Structure 1
Amino acid sequence: MGIAELLDGVAGSGEFGVWLGRLDGVPVFQHGAERTHYSASTMKLPVAMAMLRKVDAGELALDQPVTVHNDFASAAGGRFGVNPAEDEAPATWTKLGEQVPLGWLATEMITRSSNLATDLVLELVGIDAANAVLAEYGSGLSAIRRGIDDAAAQAAGISNEMSAADLAAVLVAVGNDPAAGYVRDLLAANTWNGEIPAGVPAGTRVEHKNGWDTRIRHDGGVVRPDDAEPFVLTMCTTSELPDTEAQKLIAAVAAEAWEHRHDLETVR
């Protein structure tokens, strides 16, 4: 079954964006790729890239100590805290009041998708710097405007947005940047692997960042087969599908891309 057929099978149940291509950034298949969705945790990839840029510039250091706290400036004014009940990465919470290295927080942010670690890294990096990474490579439609769990900002309509095409553009940039090996290794160590990695053979290197929330399930990554050129696949879904079905859909799209990895242009 082709990707178009898979998408036809869920037509009417939500919005689905797909971008598939190689590391040259040229797409071979697109479907609703320019439409933005609530970004969920996919915004953590631009945050990581902005952090790496500041590390390379000497403004930050991976070994610098950061005090773990849960009190942040809201994009709507005032303060907010991360909801621990909605953070599925517990390790950062065990360090409240303690100092940990910035690199440890970055690892928790990407490999475990920790929301608290993300807001701590974002506080150091700055929302403008993280958004600048996304704007540099993307279309300008996607944006990072606030931290995770900034409820006041969310209520004011200040949201983080991501399209499949813009997530792909950032992944292409990361995949081609010799200085971004640190971020690529973090992505490859992602422990949440129910989407793209589930659709390709076990052991395949997939440098990916996913995201999920109510009605939201996204994933985007660089897949590196041993017997073919790397390819980039991103899929953003905002739908009424049960979450497990959305994951299976992304995995099925990845499996179809994998079957065509030697001649990606034949994907339909």
Structure 2
Amino acid sequence: MYRLLLISLLLFINSAKLYCQSSNMSLPAIQQQIQHELNSIPGTFALAFINPDNPKQQLLINAKEVFHAASTMKTPVMIEVYRQSSQGKFSLQDSILVKNEFKSIVDGSLYSMNIKDDSGEGLYKMIGKTMTIEALVYDMITYSSNLATNILIDKVGAKNVMITMKALGANDIQVLRGVEDSKAYQQGLNNTTTAYDLMLIFQKMALHQLVNAEVDQAMINVLLEQKFNEIIPAALPKSVKVAHKTGSITGVQHDTGIVYLPDGRKYVLVLLSKNLQDSKQGIAILSKVSGIIYRYMIQK
């Protein structure tokens, strides 16, 4: 009996030690754990994590590596739409024609979006009709509609998006063109980003330092309605809210945004990938990394 009690006591002590170790993980230890996960599958990854209210609490992995932006470029487009609206250039309630004809940045030749390659298919039923700018932003972010994106880029101008990004300090976010401009793609004229710059704009958004508190919160509210939740939110409790934007093309899976904890704290997390051989594996690993960051945050 005494032997059983002794064994139980030793097991309890060892469990307590393991709990203390796991509940007091440092950022260097977290980085090592994350790097181990990222090294477990083929691909190139980048991570940028920051606590906006305590910027010293930050973790960067390949944060300045350049990636194809995929649909993460839609967040900068949204920022420019809201910025121009706040300046009185138009109202978010203004109507705009839903069209499916766009000019290539290479030679001005016309191209159209293919519904089979797009999400937010319902918007195609509106071609030839009008929608509010606000509704198009919602479709661009929550359903990742490429058609809505191109309509809005035509409205605000890709050059203006980049001017605003540079003004915010995000010099490596390049929004050169709309989506599915095949001639531009063939010439290597792609929208690109880094994890660091996406972290920067989401940090400013979280702190209401992009346009103003009301406008920034309006953008956060749209991001909270995101329909694609396989990466950052997937391993988190439902009580945790995530305002985020994903992006994916062949060999690429991204997720970027602000995570809101039930106790009122928040953090910014950017997860980028490229050269993936198996997208499902990439999604699973990035989701696991999101869970590691979450567990680190709730220990504090």
Query: Fold-level match, TM-score > 0.5?
Result: yes
CA distances 1:218-264 after superposition (whole Å, capped 9, x unpaired): 00111010126211110110023311111111111110011011457
Write the distance in 2 (CA, Å) between the matches of 1:229 and 1:144: 31
**1:51–1:60 CA contact under 8 A, matched in 2:** no
For 2:98, which of 68, 71, 94 is the aligned residue? 68
Partner in structure 1 of residue 184 of structure 2: 153
Query: What secondary structure sits across from 1:257 in the alignment?
Result: helix
Q: Residues 244 and 120 of structure 1: is their aligned pair in 2 closer, same or farther, counting only changes over 3 Å?
A: same
Which residue identity is paired with 1:208? Answer: H
One-letter identity of the residue aligned with 2:71 = S
Select the residue among 255, 267, 272 that pairs with 1:219.
Answer: 255
Local SS of the residue matching 2:284: helix
Give 1:182 shift. 1.1
- The residue number in structure 1 matching 2:83 is 53
Secondary structure at the aligned position of 2:227 is classed as: coil
Superposition deviation, residue 27 in structure 1? 5.5
**CA distance, structure 2, for counterparts of residue 138 and residue 235 of structure 1:** 20
Encode CA deviations 1:20-60: one digit per residue, 9 max, x unaligned.
Answer: 11114556211111101110000000000000011101102
Match of 2:290 in 1: 254
- After the TM superposition, which residues 24-43 of structure 1 pair with which residues of structure 2 at under 5 Å, given as runs? 24=53, 25-26=55-56, 28-43=58-73
**Alpha carbons of structure 1 residues 203 and 229: separation in structure 2 relative to 1, 3 Å:** closer
**Among 18, 21, 36, which residue is 2:50 paired with?**
21
- The 5 A counterparts of 1:89-238 are 89-177=120-208, 178=213, 179-227=215-263, 229-238=265-274
Amino acid at match of 1:255: G
Structure 1 distance, partners of 2:110, 2:56, is 42
Contact 2:226 2:244 in 1 (8 A): yes
Task: Please say if residues 73 and 191 of structure 2, whose CA atoms lie closer than 8 Å, have aligned partners that are also in contact.
Answer: yes
- Structure-1 separation of matches of 2:159 and 2:290: 33
Q: CA RMSD in A?
A: 1.6
Q: CA deviation at 1:137?
A: 3.0
Aligned-partner Cα distance in 1 for 2:57–2:295: 17
> What is the distance in 2 between the residues matched to 1:138 and 1:26?
18
In 2, Cα distance between the equivalents of 1:134 and 1:214? 26
Work out the CA distance in 2 between the residues paired with 1:250 and 1:156.
30
Q: TM-score, normalised by structure 1?
A: 0.93
Shift of 1:138: 4.2
Q: With structure 2 as the length reference, what TM-score do the two structures score?
A: 0.83
Structure 1 residue 133, shift from structure 2 partner = 2.8
| Structure 1: gaps of 5 or more residues | none
Match of 1:6 in 2: 37
Judged with a 3 Å threshold, the aligned counterparts in structure 2 of structure 1 residues 49 and 261 are, in CA distance, closer, same or farther, namely same
Question: Secondary structure of 1:223's match?
Answer: strand
Distance 2:174 2:52 in 1: 22
Q: What is the CA-CA distance between 1:141 and the residue it aligns to? A: 2.3
Structure of higher CA gyration radius: 2
Contact 2:95 2:132 in 1 (8 A): yes
> Gaps spanning 5+ residues in structure 2: where?
1-29
Q: Residue type of the partner of 2:153? A: L
Using the TM superposition, give the Cα deviation of residue 111 of structure 1 relative to its aligned residue in structure 2, in angstroms: 0.7
CA distance in 1, matches of 2:132, 2:56: 38
